[in-house]
């Protein structure tokens, strides 16, 4: 038999079997043998980690089949797509597989273009469609994955703990995001303070329009951050662009305040 090894990363991509599922698989292999070949790439197991573990435990023979991939990413994508065909996956497992695949495809696209950055791609709807759940469920799962410990994540993926329950557990007591205009409190106070010596002439249509449009732009961008954090592939790149735009808008507001104060 071909000597095989396991790769922790490849193994981590595969949803963990529950104790009952593993016991049933073990019983089947003990009574019928390992009928499905264990897939490998250069001796590294790609599919069949549980079958291999059971065969090793009981010193049972097994068949192997060689797969060919160009890169580790290609092998990982194959693993995910193969797992997505399983019928007994929980909603959490389907969401996680879809998110992992999106990450791999994003990285592969970056490498193929030969540059570090890429345009952000909204994946919430695509992941929700692939997993067969709503976008809110995807958001809650992503929040759980961000804040939960390993044990809770395993319980969520196995279906022992529902996504909504885990979401409430990890967000309980979490401070809400500051309201958008709180970041420009001083500016707003100046804008609408009747007794301020530097208050702009709000009655001037041009000044009022520019101030309103810029403060509105700031609020929209902060709401974008609040609503889309975790939903955007390449979030780091996207946040940098947002920060630059915010800086420009705040600078324009400051300039208008200075201009109005001098009138």
Q: Report pLDDT for 243.
A: 63
For the stretch 229-233, contacts whose Cβ atoms lie closer than 8 Å and that sit 24 or more positions apart, written own/partner, are 230/139, 230/142, 230/143, 230/146, 231/122, 231/123, 231/124, 231/138, 231/139, 231/142, 232/120, 232/121, 232/122, 232/123, 233/102, 233/103, 233/106, 233/118, 233/120, 233/121, 233/122, 233/123
- pLDDT band at residue 253 using 50, 70 and 90 as cut-offs: low
Domain end, chosen from 28, 56, 87, is at 87
Q: Are residues 22 and 82 in the same domain?
A: yes
Q: Are residues 139 and 94 in the same domain?
A: yes
Q: Report pLDDT for 24.
A: 95
Q: Are residues 83 and 93 in the same domain?
A: no
Q: Are residues 111 and 167 in the same domain?
A: yes
Q: Report the alpha-carbon distance of residue 263 to residue 242 in Å, rounded.
A: 32
Q: pLDDT digits over 136-168, tens only?
A: 899 899 989 888 888 899 889 988 899 999 999
Tokens of 207: 């000044």
Q: Are residues 25 and 65 in the same domain?
A: yes
Q: Are residues 81 and 103 in the same domain?
A: no
Q: Report pLDDT for 198.
A: 47
Q: Report the alpha-carbon distance of residue 107 to residue 91 in Å, rounded.
A: 25
**Of the given ranges (4-13, 16-25, 209-218, 226-235), which has the lowest mean pLDDT?**
226-235
Tokens of 9: 């990363």
Q: pLDDT digits over 91-141, tens only?
A: 999 999 999 998 888 777 776 655 444 444 466 788 888 888 988 899 899
Domain end, chosen from 35, 57, 87, is at 87
Q: Are residues 57 and 129 in the same domain?
A: no
- pLDDT band at residue 187 using 50, 70 and 90 as cut-offs: very low
What is the average pLDDT across 245-254?
A: 64
Q: Report pLDDT for 45.
A: 97
Q: pLDDT digits over 14-45, tens only?
A: 998 888 889 999 999 999 999 999 999 999 99
Q: Are residues 60 and 25 in the same domain?
A: yes
- pLDDT band at residue 192 using 50, 70 and 90 as cut-offs: very low
Q: Report pLDDT for 78.
A: 96
Q: Are residues 97 and 57 in the same domain?
A: no
Q: Are residues 162 and 184 in the same domain?
A: no
Examine the pLDDT at 203 and tell me if it is beyond 50.
yes
Domain count, the chain: 3
Q: Report pLDDT for 58.
A: 96
Q: Are residues 37 and 63 in the same domain?
A: yes
Domain end, chosen from 87, 118, 152, is at 87
Examine the pLDDT at 176 and tell me if it is beyond 50.
no
* Structural domain of 224: 180-262
What pTM value is reported for the model?
Answer: 0.59
């Amino acid at each position: 038999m071909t000597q095989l090894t396991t790769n922790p990363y490849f193994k981590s991509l595969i949803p963990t079997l529950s104790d009952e599922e593993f016991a049933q698989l073990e019983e089947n292999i003990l009574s019928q043998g390992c009928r499905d070949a264990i897939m490998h790439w250069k001796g590294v197991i790609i599919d069949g980690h549980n079958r291999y573990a059971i065969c090793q435990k009981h010193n049972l023979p097994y068949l192997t089949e060689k797969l060919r991939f160009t890169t580790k990413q290609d092998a990982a994508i194959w693993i995910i797509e193969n797992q997505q065909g399983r019928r007994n996956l929980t909603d959490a497992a389907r969401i996680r597989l879809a998110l992992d695949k999106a990450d791999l495809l994003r990285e592969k696209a970056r490498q193929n273009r030969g540059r570090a950055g890429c345009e952000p791609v909204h994946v919430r709807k695509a992941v929700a469609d692939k997993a067969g759940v709503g976008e809110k469920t995807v958001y809650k799962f992503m929040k759980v994955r961000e804040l939960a410990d390993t044990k809770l994540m395993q319980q969520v993926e196995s279906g022992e703990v529902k996504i909504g329950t885990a979401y409430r557990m990890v967000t309980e007591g979490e401070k809400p995001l500051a309201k958008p205009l709180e970041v420009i409190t001083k500016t707003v106070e100046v804008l609408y303070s009747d007794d301020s010596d530097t208050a702009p002439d709000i009655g001037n249509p041009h000044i009022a329009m520019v101030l309103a449009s810029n403060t509105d732009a700031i609020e929209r961008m902060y709401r974008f951050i609040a609503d889309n954090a975790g939903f955007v592939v390449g979030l780091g790149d996207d946040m940098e662009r947002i920060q630059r735009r915010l800086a420009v808008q705040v600078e324009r507001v400051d300039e208008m305040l200075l201009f109005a104060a001098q009138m």
